[in-house]
């Protein structure tokens, strides 16, 4: 059996023990590690526009995490922009419906405007699919037209009200990832106010 080589071995052992103690301390300390993996930035705007448009702030926070990891200058390969990865065409359409005066595409990189439009759009999708977060999320990622088409396809939906199978792998994974983040956000940030509270 090899013995530690003098001070180097002892130092490594001490570092290892300190790391274990730190992990035990942080794992026990009110979700410190989870808060690093599941940050909540722009909380005031998430709360403000979730309330204004009657959407769940946990869903908004989860969508932002999965879409952009809270990077306001994120751009996807499909040209979706900002925190909530809004397509320019969707941004323009939503801004028109919302009557946002002087809206310009570059505003999708403004965190407040992006969250406002994203919350409005989630509210719009929620009005199309009341009380069904899976359909709202699938529509946000895969498009409302595709979700409506899938609901009429017996291979995707047995009852026409919920999806039993999402044919797009990206959308299927997206819904799962947002739902997983949603549960963790509820656990780690229990103080967020739901609309109507």
Q: What is the pLDDT of residue 2?
A: 55
Q: What is the pLDDT of residue 137?
A: 99
Can you give the pTM of this predicted structure?
A: 0.84
User: Which of 124, 123, 125, 127 lies closest to 136 in space, CA to CA?
Assistant: 125
Q: What is the pLDDT of residue 105?
A: 98
- Contacts for 20 with CB less than 8 Å, ≥ 6 apart: none
Mean pLDDT, residues 124-146 taken together: 98
pLDDT in tens, 90-128: 999 999 999 999 999 999 999 999 999 999 999 999 999
Q: What is the pLDDT of residue 15?
A: 86
How far is the CA of 31 from the CAs of 40, 42, 60, 104, 159, in angstroms?
A: 13, 19, 20, 39, 40
A 10 A CB-CB count for 69 gives 11
Mean pLDDT, residues 61-90 taken together: 98
Strand-pair partners of 75: 81
pLDDT in tens, 19-47: 877 666 655 555 788 888 999 999 999 99
Burial class (CB in 10 A: 0-12, 13-18, 19+), 136: buried
Residue 157 has pLDDT above 60, yes or no: yes
User: Which of 41, 106, 98, 59 lies closest to 79 in space, CA to CA?
Assistant: 106
Cα diameter, the chain: 75
């Amino acid at each position: 059996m090899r013995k530690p080589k003098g001070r180097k071995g002892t130092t490594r052992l001490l570092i290892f023990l300190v790391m274990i103690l730190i992990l035990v301390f942080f794992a026990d300390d009110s979700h410190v590690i989870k808060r690093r993996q599941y940050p909540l930035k722009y909380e005031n705007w998430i709360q403000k526009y979730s309330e204004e448009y009657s959407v769940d702030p946990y869903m908004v926070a989860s969508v932002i995490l999965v879409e952009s990891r809270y990077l306001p200058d994120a751009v996807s390969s499909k040209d979706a922009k900002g925190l909530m990865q809004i397509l320019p065409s969707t941004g323009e359409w939503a801004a028109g419906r919302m009557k946002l005066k002087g809206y310009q595409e570059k505003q999708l990189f403004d965190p407040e405007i992006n969250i406002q439009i994203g919350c409005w759009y989630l509210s719009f999708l929620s009005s199309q699919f009341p009380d069904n977060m899976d359909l709202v999320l699938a529509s946000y990622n895969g498009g409302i037209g595709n979700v409506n088409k899938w609901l009429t396809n017996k291979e995707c939906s047995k009852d026409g009200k919920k999806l039993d199978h999402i044919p797009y792998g990206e959308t299927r994974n997206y819904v799962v990832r947002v739902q997983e983040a949603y549960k963790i956000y509820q656990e780690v940030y229990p103080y967020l106010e739901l609309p109507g509270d």
